[in-house]
Amino acid sequence: MQPWSSVPVPRVPGTPRPLRLFDTSAGSVEPTEPGAVARMYVCGITPYDATHLGHAATYLAFDLVHRVWLDNGHQVHYVQNVTDIDDPLLERAERDHEDWVVLAMRETALFREDMEALRVVPPADFVGAVESIPEIVEAVGKLLASGAAYRLDDEHPDIYFRHRASGRFGYESNYDDETMRGFFAERGGDPDRAGKEHPLDALLWRAARDGEPSWESELGPGRPGWHLECSVIALNRLGLGFDVQGGGSDLIFPHHEFSAAHAESLTGEFPFAKHYVHAGMIGLDGEKMSKSKGNLVFVSRLRGDRVDPMAIRLALLDGHYRTDRSWTADALTAGAARLARWRQAVELESAPSAEAAVAELRDRLSDDLDTQRALRAIDAWAEEALTTGGSDAGAPALIRTAVDALLGVEL
Ligand code: 5CA
Ligand code: ZN
């Protein structure tokens, strides 16, 4: 697929700081230690509805990972998928009497626009599930051949993954059996499917059903299971052992556990990703913002209301990416006020020296993306610039560059 277009990220004078991130698998903040090319995969949208502020917050968090790595002189190979065939998409299309392909194309196009407006650096590879079907079929064939997968003896001969096949199942989420079973049932799994060897075995290939889209393949006609989509797209573009596998915390289990287990079974090597990084859930009025609950605030709706996307960006960054938090109208008002203040300050002809503020910005971001403190470092500089003033003629430009490169905010 075509990604959205990118804006150049300027270089910031001064000394970058290497990035440390909380790793779900390790349970602690760990240094990221990418090579010349940092490799990141972030789970993309299922395009059956518009991008809401929860999605946006998650992509902004990983955009900062991208930006801090760029600051440290790495190139970044960033890959993101689009789950453009899956049950939720088909269910929504049926509910709305719409063609599922048209629905997916429209929402994916809107997502691109939203990401561009929010100045998210685009992935180098933006890959749909449908266009990856040949790769997925090949992977299922390998898993069957190695004994990691089996086919149901059923009217619908679906293919399942033996969840313990990699020998490492559970290392990513560290959840106990009961928690795994709960989330498996809640998040797209089918523990009660008759004929499976074990309730936690995950679907790899769903045999064709009447009235459902399917693709001809050497496995028989059908369509791909969800977790393998991300394994294969990541593996074939980044290779095993890439730096960060990312997404929202709702993907910790089963999605990322299985993505890892599938890839590790396919290759016989470990680990799928060096770090598993998860953003907290954004809610509205105390509930997780989700398509199924219908309590959504869309980025496109706010854009339509002429809200400055940079104010949305600042509003979402004024909270720690790992903390579950609520979107409020006040947060947006505060984001807009902060944006106005910063813009006023960078218009000054001279200001207090900005080196210390930029160093603080880098320090805070490198410490597991502590954006709240990072924003306050710029607040403090802007406050002093606008109240006391200063004589450094280069300071406003330095702040403008640093805020652009490291926070993605255009002043
Ligand atoms: N297509 C799959 C991933 S392969 C999927 O989860 N799609 S999604 O459209 O439901 O979500 C897209 C991304 O936004 C995922 O990384 C997901 O974890 C994240 N996300 C979903 N809801 C929220 C929320 N309320 N707050 C923060 N992030 C969210
Ligand atoms: Zn995914």
Ligand that comes closest to the CA of residue 60: 1
Residue 247 Cα to ligand 2 midpoint, Å, equals: 8
**What pLDDT, on a 0 to 100 scale, did the predictor assign at position 217?**
98
Residue 56 Cα to ligand 1 midpoint, Å, equals: 9
**What pLDDT, on a 0 to 100 scale, did the predictor assign at position 270?**
97
Report pTM. 0.97
> Which mutation among 41, 55, 278, 295 tests ligand 1's pocket best, with the greatest number of atoms within 8 A of CB?
55
Residue with CA nearest ligand 1 atom 4:
43
Q: How far apart are CA 171 and CA 81, in angstroms?
A: 23
Average pLDDT over residues 93-115: 97
Paired tokens of 33? 């230690």
**Ligand 1 atom closest to 281 (CA):** 26
Checking if the pLDDT of 250 tops 90, the result is yes
> Which mutation among 251, 258, 297, 298 tests ligand 1's pocket best, with the greatest number of atoms within 8 A of CB?
251
**Residue 367 DSSP code:** B
Query: Of 59-68, 224-233, 282-291, 390-399, where does mean pLDDT reach its minimum?
Result: 282-291
Mean pLDDT (the chain) is 97
DSSP letters for 207-260: E--TTS--B--TT-SEEE-HHHHHHHHHHHHH-TTEEEEEEEGGGIIIIIHHHH
Average pLDDT over residues 368-390: 98
Residue 316 Cα to ligand 2 midpoint, Å, equals: 22
Residue with CA nearest ligand 1 atom 8:
45
> Which mutation among 1, 40, 58, 257 tests ligand 1's pocket best, with the greatest number of atoms within 8 A of CB?
58
Residues 115, 119, 121, 122, Cα dihedral to 10°:
30
Residue 395 Cα to ligand 2 midpoint, Å, equals: 42
**Ligand 1 atom closest to 247 (CA):** 16
> Which mutation among 40, 43, 295 tests ligand 1's pocket best, with the greatest number of atoms within 8 A of CB?
43
Residue with CA nearest ligand 1 atom 11:
45
Q: Which residues line ligand 1 (CB under 6 A)?
A: 43-46, 54-55, 57-58, 81, 83, 230, 247-248, 250-251, 279, 281-282, 288-290
Residue pair 407/317 in contact by the 8 Å Cβ criterion: yes
Checking if the pLDDT of 105 tops 70, the result is yes
Residue with CA nearest ligand 1 atom 3:
43
Q: How far apart are CA 355 and CA 366, in angstroms?
A: 16
| Burial (CB count within 10 angstroms: exposed 0-12, middle 13-18, buried 19+), residue 170 | middle
Residue 308 Cα to ligand 2 midpoint, Å, equals: 30
**What pLDDT, on a 0 to 100 scale, did the predictor assign at position 359?**
98
Ligand that comes closest to the CA of residue 233: 2
**What pLDDT, on a 0 to 100 scale, did the predictor assign at position 288?**
73
Taking residue 82's Cβ as centre, other Cβ atoms within 10 Å add up to: 25
Residue 3 Cα to ligand 1 midpoint, Å, equals: 18
Cα–Cα distances in angstroms (integers) from residue 339 to residues 246, 375, 403, in the given order: 28, 11, 11
Paired tokens of 30? 């760990």
Element (H, E) at 395: helix 395-402
Ligand that comes closest to the CA of residue 83: 1
Checking if the pLDDT of 382 tops 80, the result is yes
For residue 51, list its beta bridge partners: none
Helix or strand or coil: residue 40? strand
Report the candidate in 254, 268, 375, 277 with the shortest Cα–Cα distance to residue 39: 277
Residue 247 Cα to ligand 1 midpoint, Å, equals: 7
Amino acid, res. 344: Q
Cα–Cα distances in angstroms (integers) from residue 162 to residues 166, 196, 272, in the given order: 9, 9, 17
Residue 377 Cα to ligand 1 midpoint, Å, equals: 30
**Ligand 1 atom closest to 55 (CA):** 14
204 phi, psi to nearest 5 deg: -105, -40
Checking if the pLDDT of 287 tops 90, the result is no
Checking if the pLDDT of 286 tops 90, the result is no
**What pLDDT, on a 0 to 100 scale, did the predictor assign at position 291?**
66
Convert the pLDDT of each residue in 59-99 to its tens digit.
Answer: 999 999 999 999 999 999 999 999 999 999 999 999 999 99
> In what order do the strands lie in the sheet containing 273-279?
125-128, 75-82, 37-42, 242-248, 273-279
Report the candidate in 270, 212, 216, 219 with the shortest Cα–Cα distance to residue 240: 270
Average pLDDT over residues 49-53: 90
Report the candidate in 36, 65, 38 with the shortest Cα–Cα distance to residue 247: 65
Checking if the pLDDT of 303 tops 80, the result is yes
**Ligand 1 atom closest to 82 (CA):** 1
Residue 49 Cα to ligand 1 midpoint, Å, equals: 12
**What pLDDT, on a 0 to 100 scale, did the predictor assign at position 61?**
98
What is the maximal distance between C-alpha atoms in the chain?
A: 79
Residue pair 29/18 in contact by the 8 Å Cβ criterion: no
Report the candidate in 304, 320, 303 with the shortest Cα–Cα distance to residue 312: 303
Residue 37 Cα to ligand 2 midpoint, Å, equals: 22
Residue 248 Cα to ligand 1 midpoint, Å, equals: 6
Ligand that comes closest to the CA of residue 92: 1
Paired tokens of 72? 């440290």
The residue to which tokens 């459902």 are assigned = 212
